[in-house]
Amino acid sequence: MSPDALLSPIRAEQMARSLLHWFGEHKRDMPWRGATPYGVWVSEIMLQQTQVATVIPFYLRFMERFPTVEALASTPIDEVLKYWAGLGYYARARNLHRAAQIVTNEHHGIVPNTPEMIETLPGIGRYTSGAILSIAYGLPRPLVDANVIRVLSRLFGLSGDPKSQANQALLWGLAERMVPQQNPGDFNQSLMELGALVCSPAEPQCARCPLYSECVAGHLPDPTVLPEIPAGRATISLIHSAALIRNFKGEFLLLQRPLEGLWGGLWEFPRVTCTAGESPEEAAKRAGRETVGLPLEVGIRVGKVKHAVTHHKITLYGYLASPVHTQLQLNPVAGRDLAWIPPDAIEQYALSSPPLVSGKSM
Ligand code: SF4
């Protein structure tokens, strides 16, 4: 099946007109509507894997602190990560920061306006490029995200795994045929907004959908049979344990994670993953040995938080701990940075998990 066989230019034009009309009446207010190319870029990066309602306060704080690409580029990554802490998927912030430096140094602070140039920037793939070029620069570039996959799969009755190579080619081909020369940014946003507000995963509201008369799935007994998503990976539960090591001044030891990899550049109490049969107390003791080379006495449990990363659900326990020997000789693994922090300053650090203690609790 080809996009041409599924969609004539006239039908594409009619659909675009219906969608744009619907969008004009139903779009939600969002702080990045009408933003600069830099603002659109920041919003699109934040919205990856993250709900609109979660992103809005982070976006507003981030744009207030880093209103221009130059402001972002000239700020150390540690400071940038503080404004990202809580949004998750921190590689996005590191890529955005690196890309802002490239835009500042190599493009005079102007976000590139061609797919060839913009897609060379870290963290900008085909979707983000399509979003920035169409929304910020008014270029008729397509985009396909999870909402668009769902709407187009239902609209055209596409079967099979939407992530398969053949279906991806088909979806991008259809999106390309549909995006109009006039108002391409509004059109792309209307497709995504329709997926978010009307063509939802579990309860599509076909009766109030502007594409109902054209839609294959809308006329099936159950439109949610499309798209055909393969059963996902099972969630894995992990137990982590952290040692809250205090010095004689009452300060806690924090370690910075390596810049590359999971939670790159964030700070944390020395922590490890519990192995099979190992208690969290034993693991907290091991955390001292393995991360900073410090034998520990482990005391009471003072915290338990749950958080998630990709398909892992993590329960993190925190134990007060003190060094066995009075002389503190720390040997952090792989030269990781460390810092002794008073309890009331811990929340100012960009942490890899919700804080286990704070100035109020200690
Ligand atoms: S008619 Fe129903 S299934 Fe089709 S696009 Fe609209 S909401 Fe989705």
Supply the CATH number for residue 311's domain: 3.90.79.10
Residue 267: which domain range? 236-348
* One domain for residues 250 and 182: no
Whether 151 is in the pocket of ligand 1, judged by its Cβ within 6 Å, is yes
* One domain for residues 253 and 145: no
Whether 199 is in the pocket of ligand 1, judged by its Cβ within 6 Å, is yes
* One domain for residues 248 and 128: no
Atom of ligand 1 at shortest range from CA of 226: 3
What pLDDT was estimated at residue 233? 58
* One domain for residues 159 and 33: yes
* One domain for residues 329 and 212: no
- At residue 304, φ and ψ (nearest 5 deg) are -150, 120
How many domains is the chain built from? 2
Joined together, the tokens standing for residue 39 give: 């603002």
What pLDDT was estimated at residue 357? 66
Q: In whole angstroms, what is the distance from residue 250 CA to residue 342 CA? A: 7
Joined together, the tokens standing for residue 329 give: 């000789």
* One domain for residues 32 and 165: yes
Residues labelled catalytic: 44
Q: CA-CA-CA-CA torsion for 146, 150, 155, 159, nearest 10 degrees?
A: 110
Domain boundary among 175, 193, 225: 225
The tens digit of pLDDT for each residue in 13-58 reads 999 999 999 999 999 999 999 999 999 999 999 998 888 989 999 9
CATH number reported for the structural domain that contains residue 95 in this entry: 1.10.340.30
Domain boundary among 191, 225, 259: 225
- Give the residue-averaged pLDDT of 159-166: 94
Domain boundary among 172, 204, 225: 225
What pLDDT was estimated at residue 334? 67
In a domain, 132, yes or no: yes
* One domain for residues 191 and 273: no
The tens digit of pLDDT for each residue in 48-68 reads 888 898 999 999 999 999 999
Q: Compute the distance from residue 230 Cα to the ligand 1 centre, in Å.
A: 21
What pLDDT was estimated at residue 137? 97
The tens digit of pLDDT for each residue in 328-347 reads 677 777 667 888 999 888 88
* One domain for residues 128 and 198: yes
Q: 3-state class of 272 per DSSP? A: strand
What pLDDT was estimated at residue 261? 67
Give whole-number Cα distances, 83 to 60, 193, 263, in Å.
Answer: 10, 27, 14
What pLDDT was estimated at residue 232? 66
Q: Compute the distance from residue 130 Cα to the ligand 1 centre, in Å.
A: 23
The tens digit of pLDDT for each residue in 293-305 reads 888 999 999 888 8
- Give the residue-averaged pLDDT of 68-95: 92
Residue minimizing CA distance to atom 3 of ligand 1: 218
Q: Compute the distance from residue 310 Cα to the ligand 1 centre, in Å.
A: 29
In a domain, 249, yes or no: yes
Q: In whole angstroms, what is the distance from residue 350 CA to residue 284 CA? A: 21
DSSP β-ladder status, 236-245 and 252-256: unpaired
Atom of ligand 1 at shortest range from CA of 216: 4
Q: Of the ranges 22-26, 151-155, 172-176, 231-235, which one carries the lowest mean pLDDT score?
A: 231-235
